[in-house]
Amino acid sequence: MSGQYVVALDQGTTSSRAVLIDHQGRMVDFVQRPFQQIYPQPGWVEHNPQEILFSQLGSLTELLARHNLTERQIAAIGIDNQRETTIVWDPSTGQPIANAIVWQCRRTEPIINELCGTPDVRRRIQEKTGLLPDPYFSASKIRWLLDNVPGARERAEAGELYFGTVDSYLIWVLTGGMVHATDPTNASRTMLYNIHQMCWDQELLDLFGIPASMMPEVRPSASPFGETSYPGVPAGIPICGVAGDQQAALFGQCCFRAGQAKNTYGTGCFLLMHTGDKPARSTHELVTTIAASAPGVGHTEYALEGSVFVGGAVMQWIRDELGLIHSAAESEMLAECVPDTGGVYIVPAFTGMGAPYWKPNARGTITGITRGTNRSHIVRAAVESMAYQVADLAHAMEADAGKRMEVLNADGGAAQNRFLLQFQSDILRCQIHRPLNTETTALGAAYLAGLACGFWEDTGELSELRTKDLVFTPQMSEDRANALMAGWADAVRRTIL
Ligand code: ADP
């Protein structure tokens, strides 16, 4: 093993970052470059793959130059990325055939309705991929490109086009076109990957009319993906860690065993719980997905995943639309000004209710308002709404996994709010841990790469790097917590009537 650092390429939905991580797992520095969001029509979202590439490579080279680093000082590169986003390119020229279709893009709804409309097909897809058919995943996006880009289908059938999620495209470019590969965490978000047999599923490729020759090879998340060989980037750095952003965060939070979970409190919330070597099948509309594994684990590891559509975004609404606070950070102080919300609940179903309710047509409510309700009560109810939604997901997950959540590890922008995390602990009745370094996504990619190249020895060493957690334990009486949860359930009932 050589090199003092690992670099994580953290390829997100709105920006690309290169993050320098040292042997203690500390974030030494990072460079971030935003890129354009393209909205060609209502509901459509695209990225220019070249912009993704140049923002990512630009942040990498700037980071290395800033610290005068050569390839010898970088032990490895790890990649984590926005998931599902779909790129198709011509390997003979390196040119993408169209803009990337971003995970948020809804243009392929008609394809999903046409191909996955029957209960039988939905069941088959859920059995094989762990996912519920949706335009979100890559399969229908690839199909759309083959149907709509002139000549694409013929070229794909002649073996002249490659598909990849963003990780795959970056790997291919960075290795000078030598490696067309992805990892199981990203593959499991395409809706074309059989998460039990660990291979592209021919029946699903046929259903969507996608030639198998387009698909990348799937390699373990912590394994060699080739070496850098691209003009302007120091040559010969091994790329040996790859994972989709949420699974990278799970790994970065050191959730290596069944029952360990993390929640990212961002604009939305993403809750993932490790379920060990068992792919728990959800009866609550959660998805089953593949977790990133350390080298040498020897079997596939799985996770359950659920998301909250409106998490921290409720604070933006309170700030921008209601004008009750100046900054999201102010919400903590205001929430603590009152002992409780005085019976007020906000159910922020702005775009419907997700798992475990799945009521796309529901809209938000504020209930329990009295003449005495003031600004602090409303702000507190908004903060609490994040915790209640996460608690609902967590309870569904525990039921599906048949396992109690031991600890919930918190990250994301809103995890700065200590009141939120204490309240979460109170109503979930479990410990909440917030690590010192909340850049867990980049950390996960770095950990995978670092383990694969021997920079770190094993996951035990990684767990030991995590020493300065903020720990929240339940303070509230169980009776009170139960009464609050019952009040929330009642508010939700009124919302989804
Ligand atoms: P994303 O990566 O999803 O864009 P971040 O992880 O940066 O988002 O988190 C930003 C979100 O967290 C915003 O929606 C913001 O309103 C919310 N947020 C940030 N700080 C706080 C805070 N102290 N209390 C409550 N919410 C917060």
In the reported structure, the alpha carbon of residue 382 is separated from the centroid of ligand 1 by a whole-number distance in angstroms of 13
Ligand 1 atom showing the smallest separation from residue 319 Cα: 16
The pLDDT, as a whole number, for residue 359 is 85
What mean pLDDT comes out for the span 160-174? 98
In the reported structure, the alpha carbon of residue 162 is separated from the centroid of ligand 1 by a whole-number distance in angstroms of 36
Ligand 1 atom showing the smallest separation from residue 411 Cα: 6
Distance CA 234, CA 488 (A): 54
In the reported structure, the alpha carbon of residue 380 is separated from the centroid of ligand 1 by a whole-number distance in angstroms of 15
Residue 285 pLDDT class (50, 70, 90 cuts): confident
418-437 pLDDT, tens digit per residue, is: 999 999 999 999 999 999 88
Alpha carbon of residue 390 to chain centroid: 15
121 pLDDT above the threshold of 70: yes
Six-digit token string for 73: 């000082």
179-238 pLDDT, tens digit per residue, is: 999 999 999 999 999 999 999 999 999 999 999 999 999 999 999 999 999 999 999 999
pLDDT, the chain, mean: 94
The pLDDT, as a whole number, for residue 267 is 86
Q: Where does ligand 1 bind, in terms of residues with CB under 6 Å?
A: 266-267, 312-313, 315-316, 328-329, 331-332, 412-414, 416-417
Long-range contacts of 113-118 (CB under 8 A, 24+ apart): 115/140, 115/143, 115/207, 115/208
What mean pLDDT comes out for the span 6-28? 94
Per DSSP, what are the bridge partners of residue 15?
34
1 pLDDT above the threshold of 80: no
Percent of the chain's residues with pLDDT above 90: 86
The pLDDT, as a whole number, for residue 278 is 86
Closest C-alpha residue for ligand 1 atom 13: 312
The pLDDT, as a whole number, for residue 403 is 85
Q: What is the DSSP letter of 404?
A: -
The pLDDT, as a whole number, for residue 2 is 62
The pLDDT, as a whole number, for residue 3 is 77
Residue 164 pLDDT class (50, 70, 90 cuts): very high
- CA separation (Å) from 482 to 102, 231, 479? 40, 60, 5
Closest C-alpha residue for ligand 1 atom 23: 329
268 pLDDT above the threshold of 70: yes
350 pLDDT above the threshold of 60: yes
Q: What is the DSSP letter of 140?
A: H
The pLDDT, as a whole number, for residue 97 is 97
The pLDDT, as a whole number, for residue 404 is 87
The pLDDT, as a whole number, for residue 222 is 97
The pLDDT, as a whole number, for residue 14 is 87
Per DSSP, what are the bridge partners of residue 59?
none
The pLDDT, as a whole number, for residue 90 is 97
Three-state SS sequence of 218-275: ECCCCCCCCECCCCCCCCCCEEEEEEEHHHHHHHHCCCCCCCEEEEEECCCEEEEEEE
- Candidates 225, 222, 196, 43; CA nearest to 126 is 196
The answer, as to whether pTM is greater than 0.85, is yes
Distance CA 251, CA 268 (A): 19
- Whether omega before 356 lies within 30 degrees of 0, making that bond cis, reads yes
What is the DSSP pairing of strand 269-276 with strand 74-81? Answer: unpaired
Distance CA 194, CA 320 (A): 44
462-496 pLDDT, tens digit per residue, is: 999 887 689 999 999 999 999 999 999 999 999 99
63-84 pLDDT, tens digit per residue, is: 999 999 999 999 999 999 999 9
